Copies of this chain bind each other. A is one copy, B any other.
Amino acid sequence: METISENKAFGGVQGVYSHQSHTTRCEMTFGLFLPEEARDGPVPVLWYLSGLTCTHENAMVKAGAQAWAAEQGIAVVFPDTSPRGEGVADDDAYDLGQGAGFYVNATQKPWAPHFRMWDYIAEDLPSMLQEEFPLDMSRQAITGHSMGGHGALTLAMSLPGRFRSVSAFAPICNPTGADWGRKQLQAYLGDDTGQWAAQDASLLIRERGFDGPILVDQGADDQFIDLLRPETLVAASAESRQEMTHRMQKGYDHSYFFVSTFMEDHVAFHAEALYAD
Contact = CB atoms under 8 A, between A and B. Distances in A.
Nearest to A251: B8
- Max chain B C-beta neighbours (<10 A), residue from A61, A66, A256: A61
Contact of A67 (B64, B219, B251): B64
A7 B67 contact: no
A69 to B, nearest CB: 12
B67 A260 contact: yes
Contacts of A61: 61-62, 256
A10 B253 CA distance: 12
Interface string A242-268: 000000000111011110110010000
Nearest to A58: B61
How many copies of the chain does the oligomer comprise? Answer: 2
Contact of A260 (B66, B219, B256): B66
Interface residues on A, range: 20 to 34
A9 interface: yes
A146 interface: no
15 contacts: A7-B253, A7-B255, A8-B221, A8-B252, A8-B257, A8-B261, A10-B260, A10-B261, A61-B61, A61-B62, A61-B256, A62-B62, A64-B260, A66-B257, A67-B264
Interface of A: 7-11, 14, 61-62, 64, 66-67, 219, 221, 251-253, 255-258, 260-261, 264
